[in-house]
């Protein structure tokens, strides 16, 4: 690649040093502080770092970090890939990721939904992958219809190639101003945010996987790629069996999106699939940690749609520990607990912990799900019989547990 | 309560106005009624469908600007909710739903949009978004303990002579004039969004007692009380 200007080189190097210090001192993954310092020294750093790379931006409410990892893993078939593997998904994290692999010809960046227009504008990324939009931390995030509208404006008139999930009506609407869209049908488990037409407000009628507005012409586009059970149909009608280590339906959807994205780089499913199958855990998600003969599998769920996906993965034969916080990154408002249907947990031992455990306790009580309250994750884990247990936690609760186990990845 | 045996809870427009766990209010009312031996029927009314007039308690929740405007238009065209309230049904209207019950509220660009006039209030857009915990002392006439909950709105609501303030704010913004929410007859409006009744079982019981026409037996409130205590201790200045 061409040489960065001197100021950008200095900014980039200072950032990397700070990131290393952050990791060495155990303060974090180092992916934000480094980028912040770099951006202070050279505000145009992201544009310069992005200039010579073929970039993919990945955005959604759920599955960003995992899909970013899957695409990155597949693109390694073609060469070195820069990526923000730890979910630092705002510009500082992007600078940090691109600084750490300056010679990589490819980059895959997870992008916060709100920042997508800005990051697309700055980086001029060639591919954008859009998966789902649902209610999420509404005390600080924008309302999702407004988000989709911002996506539309950002994509309008750009040469960007968009790969988008046509089973999510709001994503479809957000993506449909782009000049080139590859539609991928990967399903939509959470439908509570898409009963009305994003275009005109009319009711959306659904029949099997199909959907259409009753009052205007907005309807589901014809997909080129389709997730069908354990396999993916490509645009040529060939069927590819997914053989993933990552569990659950949501990860099959993430993998199908990844296959469609890397196909736009000329990478065919037969070369990409083995790479997808290598991914076991993603920044602590799905990882197994062990203490005193108890093996706990960690599942992250940040919003109602995410909890549905986590319930799909959790083993009904195992006890389950639920941990909920309401710090800034979680959203300080716990209202969303009432959008999750916890009755699926009936019949297994349920343990409730986290800083907002009383909010969750009342929620389960009203749902008629018996539970045991624990003042800490350690107490909840110690209360288990030796063997396996599933853990579902929201963002900061998840990070607290992860750091108890040496920032397990 | 109507002569047939089940208590009918009617949730209005969950497809448009259900943004912040609004379902919680339905679930809490259902649980608290069933705990007292009432049979309960829950009706979800989508915005394309008519609002049934034979409900006992009606609930309407919060939402974004556009669904709020659509919801108001459809309720006005339908007329079912107005007829049910005139008949004496109880109604809890939350956040965007609260504003819809007035004469006007602020639309996407701040333009006035007509409400359905079940409460003598009018709302506009404030300067800043009110986001955070809210604590308020309820009108003593209602016999309901301190309100606790979460607000997230840009609304400013002016109360007319036809309504009484529901409460006076201790922490938070509410209507914007030191009061929070209002009531008239069996209609209650509040900015406490989403599952307001989960943190205020007294308010849930007030609605139920209006619906059944008499006092209610006490029930086990352990988890409600523990959550209330924890939240009030966390939010109130020491």
**CA–CA distance, B97 with B26 (Å, rounded to integer):** 14
Dihedral, A309, A315, A321, A322 alpha carbons, nearest 10 = 20
In chain B, which residue's Cα lies nearest the Cα of A373?
Answer: B223
Q: Which residues pair with B10 in a beta bridge?
A: B43, B58
pLDDT(B1) > 70: no
Q: Are residues A264 and A384 in the same domain?
A: no
The answer to whether residues A201 and A263 belong to one domain is yes
Task: Tell whether B15 is within 8 A of chain A (Cβ).
Answer: yes
Helix pair A144-155, A116-123: axis angle to 10 deg? 20
The Cα B53–Cα B83 span in angstroms is: 7
- Check which CATH number belongs to the domain holding A366 and give it: 3.90.190.20
Is the CB of A335 less than 8 angstroms away from the CB of B132? Answer: no
Domain annotation covers residue A143: yes
Cβ contact (<8 Å) for B22 and A143?
A: no
Report the alpha-carbon distance of residue A29 to residue A32 in Å, rounded.
8
pLDDT at residue A1 in the model: 44
Rounded to whole angstroms, how far apart are CA atoms B30 and B40? 6
Q: How far is A154 from chain B (nearest CA, A)?
A: 21
Asked whether residue B82 is domain-assigned, the answer is: yes
Beta strands in A120-179 (DSSP E): 127-130, 161-165
Are residues A256 and A329 part of one domain?
no
| Residues of B marked as catalytic | 95, 193
Q: Partners of B9 in the beta sheet?
A: B42, B57
Q: Is A407 left (phi over 0), alpha (psi -120 to 50) or beta?
A: left
Taking contacts as CB-CB distances below 8 angstroms, the residues of chain B near A367 are: 27
Which residues of B does the annotation place in the binding site for substrate?
Answer: 129
Chain B stretch 39-58, residues whose beta carbon is closer than 8 A to a beta carbon of chain A: 46-48
Please name the residue of chain B whose CA is at the shortest distance from the CA of residue A304: B21
CA distance A190 to chain B (A): 13
CATH number of the domain at A127, please. 3.40.1190.10
pLDDT of residue A25: 56
Q: What is the CATH number of the domain that holds B34?
A: 3.40.50.880
What is the phi/psi pair of residue A366, to 5°? Answer: -65, -30
Answer whether residue A21 is part of any domain. Answer: no
Q: Is residue A18 part of a domain?
A: no
- The count of structural domains within chain A is 2
Is pLDDT larger for residue A173 or for residue B18? Answer: A173
Task: Find residue A212's DSSP bridge partners.
Answer: A205, A219
Cβ–Cβ below 8 Å for A195 and B27: no
A333, A339, A341, A390: which is the annotated catalytic residue? A333
| B19 inside 8 A of chain A by CB | yes
End-to-end alpha-carbon separation of chain B, Å? 43
CA B118 to CA B99: how far, in whole Å? 10
DSSP states of A47-115: HHHHTTSEEEEEE-SSSHHHHHHHHHHHHTTTS-EEE-TT---SHHHHHHHHHHTTT-SEEEEE--GGG
| Interface test with chain B among A134, A327, A338, by most B beta carbons within 10 Å | A338
Do A338 and B18 make contact, defined as CB atoms within 8 angstroms? no
A153 located within any domain: yes
Q: Are residues A62 and A100 in the same domain?
A: yes
Helices A91-100, A6-24: axis angle to 10 degrees equals 100
**CA of A340: which chain B residue's CA is closest?**
B21
Other beta carbons within 10 angstroms of residue A268's beta carbon come to 14
The pLDDT tens digits for B89-115 are 999 999 999 999 999 999 888 899 999
User: How many helices (DSSP H) and strands (DSSP E) are in chain A?
Assistant: 14, 17
The Cα B176–Cα B182 span in angstroms is 12
Give the orientation angle of helix A249-263 with respect to helix A304-313, to 10 degrees: 110
Number of Cβ within 10 Å of residue B165's Cβ equals 19
Strand residue runs (E) in A87-209:
106-110, 127-130, 161-165, 180-185, 204-207
Going through A305-404 in order, the beta strands assigned E by DSSP cover 320-323, 350-353, 372-373, 387-393
Distance separating alpha carbons of residues B214 and B223, to the nearest angstrom = 25
Low-confidence ranges of chain A (pLDDT < 70): 1-3, 19-31, 41, 138-142
Nearest CA in chain B to A193: B15
Question: Least CB-CB distance to B195: which of A192, A196, A335?
Answer: A335
**Residue A124 belongs to domain spanning:** 51-276
Q: Do A379 and A264 share a structural domain?
A: no
Give A370→chain B minimum CA distance, Å.
12
Residue A34 falls within a domain, yes or no? no
Is a pLDDT exceeding 80 seen at residue B3?
no
Looking at the complex, does the CB of residue B227 fall below 8 Å from at least one CB of chain A?
Answer: yes
A7 domain residue, yes or no = no
Q: Is the pLDDT of residue B205 over 50?
A: yes
Q: Is B28 on the interface with A (CB under 8 A)?
A: yes
A363 and A247 in a single domain? The answer is no
| Residue B21 near chain A (CB below 8 Å) | yes
Same domain assignment for residues A269 and A293: no
Q: What percent of chain B has pLDDT over 70?
A: 98
Q: Which residue of A has its CA nearest to B71?
A: A201
| Neighboring chain B residues of A332 at a CB cutoff of 8 Å | 132-133, 150
- Reference B119, options B135, B105, B129; nearest CA is B105
Q: Is residue A19 part of a domain?
A: no
Q: At what angle do helices A64-75 and A269-276 cross, to 10 degrees?
A: 120
Q: Indicate whether B2 belongs to any domain.
A: no
Does residue B143 fall inside a structural domain? Answer: yes
Owning domain of residue B139: 7-235
Q: What is the mean pLDDT of chain A?
A: 91
Instruction: Indicate if A194 and A324 belong to the same structural domain.
Output: no
> Is the same domain home to A78 and A187?
yes
Beta carbons of B27 and A367 less than 8 Å apart = yes
Residues A176 and A215 in one domain: yes
**Cα–Cα distance for residue pair A264/A225, rounded to 1 Å:** 12
Positive or negative, the CA dihedral A47, A49, A54, A59 is negative
Question: Do residues A260 and A184 lie in contact, with contact meaning Cβ atoms separated by under 8 Å?
Answer: yes
Contact, A232 vs A258, CB < 8 A? no
Residues of chain A contacting residue B233, judged by C-beta atoms under 8 Å apart: none
H helix or E strand, kind and range, residue A366: helix A357-367
Interface contact A358-B227, CB threshold 8 A: yes
Closest CA to B136 of B102, B107, B162, B167: B167
SS3 string of B36-80? CCCCEEEEEECCCCCCCCCCCEEEECCCCHHHHHHHHHHHHHHCH
Phi, psi of A205 (to 5 degrees): -95, 140
- Residues B74, B51: Cα–Cα separation, whole Å: 10
Cα–Cα distance measured from residue A97 to residue A25, given in angstroms and rounded to the nearest whole number: 20
pLDDT, residue A201, reads 85
**Residues in CB range of A128: below 8 A, 6 or more apart:** A56, A57, A58, A59, A116, A120, A155, A160, A161, A162, A163, A178
Angle, helices B201-212 vs B23-34, to 10°: value is 60
Q: Which helix (H) or strand (E) holds B23?
A: helix B23-34
Q: Report pLDDT digits (tens) over B113-127.
A: 999 999 999 999 998
Give whole-number Cα distances, B84 to B14, B56, B68, B102, in Å. 18, 8, 20, 16
Report if residue B1 sits inside a domain.
Answer: no
Residues A211 and A93 in one domain: yes
The per-residue pLDDT for range B29-84, each reduced to its tens digit, is: 999 999 999 999 999 999 999 999 999 999 999 988 888 999 999 999 999 999 99
B84 CA: distance to closest CA in chain A (Å):
24
Residue B122 near residue B158, CB atoms below 8 Å: yes
pLDDT in tens, B150-172: 999 999 999 999 999 999 999 99
Instruction: Tell me what ipTM this predicted complex has.
Output: 0.96
Asked whether residue A122 falls in the same domain as residue A162, the answer is yes
Interface-testing mutation among A135, A190, A339, A355, with chain B (most B C-beta atoms within 10 A): A339
The Cα A186–Cα A59 span in angstroms is 15
Strand partners of residue B125:
B155
Whether A335 is covered by a domain: the verdict is yes
Our count of domains for chain B comes to 1
């Amino acid at each position: 690649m061409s040489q960065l200007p001197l100021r950008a080189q200095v900014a980039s190097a200072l950032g990397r040093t700070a990131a290393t210090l952050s990791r060495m001192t155990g303060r974090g993954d180092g992916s934000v502080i480094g980028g912040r310092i770099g951006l202070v020294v050279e505000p145009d750093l992201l544009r310069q770092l992005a200039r010579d790379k073929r970039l993919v931006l990945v955005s959604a409410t759920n599955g960003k970090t995992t899909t970013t990892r899957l695409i990155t893993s597949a693109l390694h078939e073609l060469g070195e890939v820069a990526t923000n593997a730890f979910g630092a998904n705002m510009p500082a994290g992007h600078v940090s990721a691109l600084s750490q692999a300056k010679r990589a010809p490819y980059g895959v960046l997870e992008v916060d939904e709100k920042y997508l227009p800005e990051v697309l504008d700055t980086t001029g990324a060639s591919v954008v992958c859009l998966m789902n939009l649902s209610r999420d931390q509404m005390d600080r995030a924008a309302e999702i219809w407004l988000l989709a509208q911002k996506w539309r404006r950002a994509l309008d008139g750009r040469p960007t190639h968009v790969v988008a999930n046509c089973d999510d009506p709001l994503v479809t609407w957000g993506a449909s101003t782009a000049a080139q869209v590859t539609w991928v049908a990967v399903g939509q488990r959470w439908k509570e945010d898409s009963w009305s037409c994003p275009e005109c407000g009319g009711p959306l009628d659904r029949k099997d996987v199909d959907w259409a507005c009753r009052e205007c012409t907005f309807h589901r586009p014809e997909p080129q790629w389709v997730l069908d059970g354990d396999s993916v149909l490509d645009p040529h009608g060939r069927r590819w069996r997914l053989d993933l280590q990552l569990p659950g339906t949501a990860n099959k959807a993430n993998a199908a999106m990844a296959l469609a994205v890397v196909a736009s780089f000329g990478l065919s499913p037969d070369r990409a699939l083995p790479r997808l199958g290598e991914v076991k855990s993603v920044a602590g998600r799905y990882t197994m940690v062990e203490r005193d003969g108890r093996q706990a599998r960690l599942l992250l769920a940040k919003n109602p749609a995410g909890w549905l996906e986590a319930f799909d993965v959790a083993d009904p034969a195992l006890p389950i520990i639920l941990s909920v916080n309401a710090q800034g990154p979680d959203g300080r408002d716990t209202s969303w607990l009432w959008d999750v249907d916890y009755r699926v947990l009936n019949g297994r031992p349920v343990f409730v912990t986290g800083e907002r455990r009383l909010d969750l306790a009342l929620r389960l009580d009203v749902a008629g799900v018996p539970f045991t309250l624990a003042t800490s994750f350690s107490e909840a884990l110690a209360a288990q019989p030796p063997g396996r247990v599933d853990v579902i936690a929201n963002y900061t609760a998840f990070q607290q547990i992860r750091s108890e186990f040496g920032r397990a990845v | 309560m109507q002569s047939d045996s089940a208590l009918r809870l009617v949730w209005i427009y969950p497809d448009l106005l259900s943004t912040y766990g609004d379902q919680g209010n339905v679930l809490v009312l259902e649980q608290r009624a069933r705990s007292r031996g009432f049979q309960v029927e829950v009706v979800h009314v989508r915005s394309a469908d008519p609002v049934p007039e034979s409900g006992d308690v009606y609930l309407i929740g919060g939402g974004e600007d556009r669904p709020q405007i659509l919801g108001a238009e459809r309720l006005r065209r339908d007329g079912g909710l107005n007829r049910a309230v005139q008949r004496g049904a109880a109604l809890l209207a939350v956040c965007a739903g609260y504003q819809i019950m007035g004469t006007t509220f602020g639309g996407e660009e701040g333009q006035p949009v007509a409400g359905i006039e079940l409460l003598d209030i009018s709302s506009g857009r404030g300067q800043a978004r009110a986001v955070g915990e809210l604590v308020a002392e309820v009108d003593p006439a209602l016999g309901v303990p301190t309100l606790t909950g979460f607000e997230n709105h840009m609304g400013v609501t002016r109360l007319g002579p036809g309504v009484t303030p529901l409460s006076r704010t201790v922490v938070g913004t509410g209507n914007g004039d030191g009061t929070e929410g209002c009531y008239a007859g069996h209609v209650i409006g509040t900015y406490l969004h989403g599952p307001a009744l989960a943190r205020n079982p007294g308010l849930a019981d007030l609605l139920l007692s209006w619906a059944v026409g008499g006092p209610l037996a006490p029930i086990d409130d352990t988890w409600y009380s523990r959550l209330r205590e924890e939240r009030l201790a966390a939010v109130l200045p020491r």
